[in-house]
Amino acid sequence: MDLIHYLNNNLITDNTKELDSSKLFLKTSQNAKYSTHIKNFIIPKELLNSLNLKTKFVGITGTNGKTTTAFVLGYILNSLGFSVGIQGTEGFYFNGEKKEAKTLTTPPIFTTIKRAFKYKPDFFIMEVSSHAIVQERIEGIEFDAKILTSFSQDHLDFHKSMEDYKKAKELFFKDESIKIVKGKKIFDKEIEVDGYIFNVNPKNLYGLEKPLIDEIKMAGEFNKMNFSLALKAAEILSGESLDNLKEIAKRFSGVPGRMEIVSNNPLVIIDFAHTPDGMEKVLGAVEGKKIVVFGAGGDRDKDKRTLMGEVADKFADFIILTEDNPRCESAKDIAKDIAKGIKKTPFEIILNRKEAIKKALKVAKEKNMTLMILGKGDENYIEYCGKKIYYSDREEVKKCLK
């Protein structure tokens, strides 16, 4: 069976509703329960093996830092002359150019396979979410390298406990691929990551306890570690010297929506930080008086909301709570949950995000403060109960400043 012919002619599907006599069914862990009646099928590993791709897959997981690490690694490898695909929160990029819009951080496996086959990059760097690990959206891929950037509270609406969340991440590091982890190796199979002990396969395991680079164009000590993880991966995968790779990394200017400066007067920074740990790293990286605008996603981990309020209370001089992606929850109720963590810092609740930014810019100018707008980064929508309405923090700031 010529699977390349089938793929070239769109004759493979993972959707039972699209299946007819001319098409071949791709059976995955996600669609298996809907396709028990289908006898003629292939699985992802068979399809990948038949394509004879020379592509090396790199998977990056972690609560925070996945996107920055992926883009730094992609930039370095591309600068060395390799072709590079990057898949994740920002969409799909090939050699630095955006080719496909954002979907899930880790899309269904068939999407990944089709992108790898279409672009045939030397390296396919992909963000791997904990949801994707549990739901097996990466089945069939033999990774050449895996990276763990960080670990802190998030997604407890899905995983139910930090232990379950940790186990999901551990699953990713059970094979013998190269494993680069931000952490301290303790025993043969254990490594400490942000205060949690991970049980992983010790073969080809590299633990990074401190940054390998000091001079970068992105703010924050945490970004030095993201760069360092990318540097270590590039060193192992390319064989280039670390000193040469550092010179390349120093030229990397940043990722859209990650510590992105969208105005200098007043200083306005947008960032995707949407967890207590992510907020602490971002807010702690900027000196001087700060006004912070943020909210929290609806229908997601509610326990982190008060903790996010506590972090803002610790670092901010003024806070405006607003909507993020309220989904089917009340934005007002979400803001009240966050406010429980704010004990000393003056704050307001302005649910309309555009109005919140307008007020924050006014205060930032009057009080000579840095404005930090968190939670959405480069996202271009707000989600309300199944509807995504176009919206951009970056565009809103620029519009208000005109």
* Contact assessment for residue 123 and residue 17, using Cβ atoms and an 8 Å cutoff: no
Model confidence at 8, pLDDT cuts 50, 70, 90, reads very high
Interval 375-402: pLDDT, tens: 999 999 999 999 999 999 999 999 999 8
Tell me what the mean pLDDT of segment 52-63 comes to.
96
Q: What does the pLDDT look like over 335-363, one tens digit per residue? A: 999 999 999 999 999 999 999 999 999 99
Q: What is the pLDDT of residue 371?
A: 98
Residue 116 confidence (pLDDT): 98
pLDDT tens, 279-317? 999 999 999 999 999 999 999 999 999 999 999 999 999
Quote the pLDDT of residue 156.
74
Q: Are 67 and 89 in contact (CB under 8 A)?
A: yes
Average pLDDT of the residues of the chain? 95
The pLDDT of residue 155 is 67
At 188-218, the pLDDT tens digits run 789 999 999 999 999 999 999 999 999 999 9
How confident is the model at residue 41, as a pLDDT? Answer: 96
pLDDT at 58 over 70: yes
176: how many CB neighbours lie within 10 A of its CB?
10
